[in-house]
Amino acid sequence: MTRRIRIAHLYPDHMNIYGDRGNIVALRQRCLWRGIACDVLPVGPGATVDWSGIDIAFFGGGQDSGQALIAEDFLERQGPALRAAIDDGLVMLAICGGYQLLGHYFLTHTGQRLPGVGALDVYTVGGKERLIGNVVIETEPTLCGAPLRLVGFENHSGRTYLGAGVRPLGRVLVGHGNNGEDRTEGAVYRNTIGCYLHGSLLPKNPQLADHLIAVALQRRYGDASALVPLDDALELAAQQVMVERMLLRD
């Protein structure tokens, strides 16, 4: 039986900045290299989605203006069903603006309040200064069975604060992270990850891409077997160089 992964790409024309679309490319290609069929469903304003048929959802980042354009549609059309799917274990990765809209609300620096769907127990408040630069984090051991060092790029005015219903994706070694105060980066709830790591995240960190694919396969097919290894020597070497370079500068 050919296994198949179905990926929903939320608002690709509005929420795609700093190479976030590359996360879709990485997921799809890493599936195809392993003989896993992969379908990508773009989800734009007005779209209807059967979330029970989706294995992985991706929601990228965008400027505040782009976020404002799709916030109402996301809240009203996708919000309740997507929140239920996340509670049921849907695998999801949300970056920056997508991460913020999964929370309770985003209060922009201009005072505009953008309500979120409340799928993640976080809220975001805009600051006057942007948090910009390369980031290195060390993930929580429970995410992939062992701590990982992930690299990315952040550029956000929002300061995100975590509630008791989520745990951090990781601890900031270099960079600002969620809010520049508590050294946390990202949030994890069940199989959903929100974070500020652009760059794009998954090509730079193939271990995380494979984690998402493996969990999605387990959820869809009950398949706990390990993924067929890929030759990630170049990707991992580039990742290690970046980690060492950033730690040395810090």
Residue 163: what residue type?
Answer: G
Q: Which of 14, 176, 198, 211 is catalytic?
A: 198
Give Cα 91 distance to the centre of its chain: 10
- State residue 49 phi and psi, 5-degree precision: -125, 130
Q: What DSSP string runs through 99-149?
A: HHHHSSEEE-TTS-EEE---SSSEEEEEEEEEEEEEEEEEE-HHHHSS--E
Task: Give the total residue count for the chain.
Answer: 250
Residue 204 host element (H or E) = helix 201-204
Query: Is 198 known to be catalytic?
Result: yes
Q: Which of 31, 38, 96, 195 is catalytic?
A: 96
Query: Is 96 known to be catalytic?
Result: yes
Cite the active site residues.
96, 198
